Structures are given as structure tokens and as C-alpha cells.
Chain A
């Protein structure tokens, strides 16, 4: 396990494993479909017209490439590394989620599926899925925890405007993990005509690989843009992690560039000794939702609830490839608290005129710790993976402002 591989980019293996992580831990009813999906994805990858259609949509519908922006005032304020933002919050629908959703929906169409289901936490993946379904005239059902429906009302309304049915997950902790359970239950019951569009780099194989591949557009663009703007690769990358799709999209194209330091920032909530959602820092390996990975659980293997100020980060697990990269020590997994994220959120608004989502505010909180320790020629890229419009109500509430 400790020997360094020739490449960090070859996973997963044919069983869907990254080291011991990943796999296909699902009910037998779903297995034939998951094997079909694996075949369909292989065929799509080999088909030039599939990639062409996706590229066209990414450019003309999503608005890619997203800019790589030098955050001059923030850089001056922090007094160290040159900080760049990868502006994935400028995508249509306001986050990186749409990159993956379009790929999966094109695949669903190839497979002849007419009904799409998805789970969502903060609502960004739900909105992206509802958007793509509207674009292609597909029926869309989004599962969302009852608690999240309450705290993310604007996104619930958006999904409904886009024609999606939003179904409250009323079981368990009534948040993202329960929405995932409900979506899996729906899938088992409707496996013949339904495609499950998973929003992060987790779930049974081939989802972690597939979602990663669709998100790699972020890192690939960053390479080109940094070469063009600075004439060399960045020295460090920073991204927030819930399940970890925006992070994996940024990191993956750089994994074999050994000089590039990589930081994944988990949500430390009220603190790592209190309620948090830092699955790697505060969890241990287990099996849930179709894959083996780091999970928040008690000593009896019962899943515990994560907490984060950001409804998009409070999932009690993480993508299996992240779990492996952690064990291999290729990526540094750190964490930021609610309080630190909130301070970073406010700083970004005031210094850069950008209202970030609470998810990348966690990444920014780490940039604020890291950048001052680095020399002035250090190039740091932070993935600004979502915009904060959806979060203003949460933030106002905490700041004691009545809207």
C-alpha cells in the first residue's frame, strides 16, 4: 500500500477499486443495470460524437471554459502566494455540478432511459439535473432531505420551475444521506426505465470514475490557462470536499505532477471534536451507498449525521478515490470550521466583489491559512466551484440580519 504507483491516474481497476476503496456494494436488483451502465459508458467514451456533443454543450450552454482569475486584492491582503480562482461559479446554474450532469444525461439518452432521478443536498445538483432534463424533455424526480428543503427554499423553487418533481426524504436525519437512500430505493423499484444521475464522485462503480471524468474539464482547463498566463503549472491546488466532485475534477489532471501540492478541505463544522462533516479527518473506512470509503459512524458501524454550515458538505462520506489518495498521501486532506468558512465568505465578498457559495468558502478559509506561508512566486489555484446566491439566507440568519 505504501509503494508509490507509476501513475495516480489509472484507477479504478476492473472491479471498480481504488486500492481497497470503491467497489459495487448494491442490492442484486441493481447489479444488472450497473453492469449495463458500465458498458454504455465505455462505449460512449470511445465514441467521438458523444464527446463532441458534450463539448458543444459545455461551451455554448454552460459557458465554458470558465475563467482562471487572478485574485489581486486577496493576494495583496494575504501577502504570500499568488491566488487564482477557477471560476466554476460562473457556469450556467451556478456551480460545477452541471459539467457532470450533462455528461450523464447524454449517456441516459444513449441508453434509452426516459426518467431521471437524482439526490441533492444544497440543491445545486438537483437544479443542474432539473435543468438538463428540461433541456432534453426528460422526466425528472429529485430526492431532497426534508431539513434541506427547508433551508434551501430558493433551489427547491428553481427545480420546480424547471419542471422537476421534488420529493422530500423523510427518513433518518432527513438530509443528503437520506435523500441518497430514497433515490436508491426509487431506482430499485423503477430500474427498467430510470437512470440515476449521481451528483458526486461516490456510489457504486462506475459512478466515481464517470463523475470524475466529466469533472476533469475543470483541471484540464486550469492546466492550459495557467500555462498561458504564467508559463508554468501551478504550485498548489485547493478545493472544498463534500463528496468531492469539484475537487476531483480539479485535482485529477495534476495527480502525476509531483511538484504540485494538493489540498482537499473538508467541513469541520463546529470543530473536529464536536459536530462536523470531515469524513477523512474524523471518520474511518466503511461501506455505504454502494462503495467502501471513509465514513462518519459510531463504533458499531451505524452511520452518524454530519454537520456543516453548508448543506452541500454535510454528507457523512467521501468519494472512494479521495479515500485512496489520502492513504497514498498524494493529497493533503485538511478541514475548515463553519466559523472560518463564514469569515472567508465575507472576505471574498468585500475584497473581490464575488459572493462565493459556502462550499468553496471552506477552500478559501484554507487558502487564507496557506497563502501567507508561501513565497510571492507561489502559484495557488482555488476552485470557486459555486456562487453564493443560494446561501445568502443562511448567512443572513447567522449574522442576525432579517431579509
Chain B
């Protein structure tokens, strides 16, 4: 729904390739390093940025993303600092779509109306809120659409043909297909079933379908990009942040570089 998102997918279509969507947690490992990481993502090859809003209890995420959230919270991250980070990024980059991803409680407590207003003003293009299925559309999805933000829904292997129309009804921007039954960053996707499911879901929506969960390598990304409109990488990137920290858990000079190097590698997979 935002021009930035539509323009991006239109441009990618012209180039005839899939999008690389990169997830990092806002404020991980601290505010300054996090900004450096996010600012370098487009140059490293990211087409869309998913910015995680830290939450203490991310029930659908694996240990890597949970740990990233806790690192950010320990370093003082809040919803306000997340929006501030986005604003700082947007001041220098007007074209890369940014999607805020997380859980409903921090948004609910911030206040839905205020959140939508502030997120839009900061330069946000869409929201992914894991614990808001279509059954709870009135909470945030519909107000977000009215505020001019995309609400990007997760579709999963359990989203069968009967349920798909309900799932896609209020989805915009793109569809995030969760490639495995399970949490982020654990199982590797079964590429055959991903291809079959993307094909099946395409019958229900004209939106781009991006595939994520468990994608770690350029080879996986290349294989997925053959059938899908985009590939999402998350846990592998926050693991790269974790591995780059010193013994005390503090960022080192190589922290942003570690993430950007991995993004560049996976971007090659998407582009060939």
C-alpha cells in the first residue's frame, strides 16, 4: 500500500529476480551498532528490511531471535528507540521498504493509534505481527490499512485452501510464507514442499510471496528464489551479530561487517 513497497516489487519484477528480505532486531546489540547494521543492509544487497521490535516472550521465534531481543532490551531498547532507529535510517534512505516485525503486546501498550501514527511518520511501510491471526483483524490489521500501512500476513503449511481466502483477505504488501512447521531459525525448509505450497497459494493471491524460516545459505536462497517472489533471512543474521561480540557481549568493530558480509553472500544466491 505504501508507494515504496509497490515500487520496490515493480522494480524487482523488471529485473526479473526475487527480493531479499533481511531481518535484524532493532537495538541489537546496542542502539549505535544497530543503526550501522541497518544502514549498511541495502548496500550489502537487501531489498526490504524487516526490523524486529524486541519482546521478552517471542513465542514463535527460536533461540537466536529471542536472544537478539533480550540483548537489545538489556541495552535499553524500547518501542521509542526502535522508531527512532527507523527514522534515522529513513533520513538517509528514501527507497528501501522497512517492515516492523514483532508481537502485539508492546504495540497494544504503546497504543494502537499512536503507534500507527508514529510508525508511519518514522518511515515504516508495513507490519508483521506474529500473534495476530485474521480472527483478530479488528485489533491492528484494519486500523493499519486505514493508516496507509501494509499488513503482511504469515501463511504457513497449515494454511490450507479452505483457510487461504480468510488469510489473504486483508493482507497487503506481500505474503510471508513460513516454510516450516515450527519456529524461526531451526529446521531447514523442505524445498520441494515450499515450491508446491507457494504454487498452491499463488492461486489465492496476486500479492508477491516471500519465503522465510530456516533459510541460512546462498544455495537455499537461490533454490527458493526460483519459485517465490522473495526470500527472508533472519536468524542467520542475528546469529552473525552474536558471534561477532566480544567475551563481555559487547559489539566489536567487525559486528556490522559480519552481518553485511553474510547478506552479500546470500544476495548473490538470490541474484543468480
Could you list which residues of chain A lie within 8 angstroms of chain B, going by C-beta atoms? 15, 23-33, 171-172, 177-178, 181, 184-185, 188-192, 284, 286-290, 292, 295, 297, 299-303
Contacts and interface: CB of A to CB of B under 8 A. Distances in A.
Contacts of A299: 109
Nearest to A25: B131
Nearest to A173: B56
A181 B56 CA distance: 10
Contact of B57 (A31, A189, A303): A303
Contact of A24 (B136, B154, B182): B136
Given A29-B154, A32-B163, 9 more contacts: A23-B136, A26-B133, A28-B156, A31-B158, A189-B181, A287-B108, A299-B109, A300-B106, A303-B56
Q: Is the interface of A mostly helix, strand, loop or mixed?
A: mixed
A172 B109 CA distance: 21
A61 B97 CA distance: 60
Contacts of A287: 103-105, 108, 131
Given A25-B131, A25-B136, A177-B57, A32 B160 contact: yes
Contacts of B136: 23-25
Contact of A172 (B57, B62, B159, B178): B57
Q: Is the interface of B mostly helix, strand, loop or mixed?
A: loop
Contacts of B127: none
Nearest to B69: A302
B78 interface: yes
B55 interface: yes
A290 B79 contact: no
Residue of B56, B63, B183 ringed by the most chain A CB atoms within 10 A: B56
Residue of A286, A297, A299, A300 ringed by the most chain B CB atoms within 10 A: A300
B73 A302 contact: yes
A300 B131 contact: no
Contacts of A181: 57-59
- Range of interface residues on chain B? 35 or more
B79 A28 contact: no
Contacts of A286: 105, 108-109
Contact of A188 (B107, B110, B163, B183): B183
Contacts of A188: 60, 181-183
Given A32-B159, A189-B183, A191-B181, A27 B154 contact: yes
B158 A290 contact: no
A31 B166 CA distance: 12
B46 interface: no
Contacts of B60: 27, 29, 184-185, 188
A90 B112 CA distance: 47
A295 B109 CA distance: 11
Contacts of A284: 109
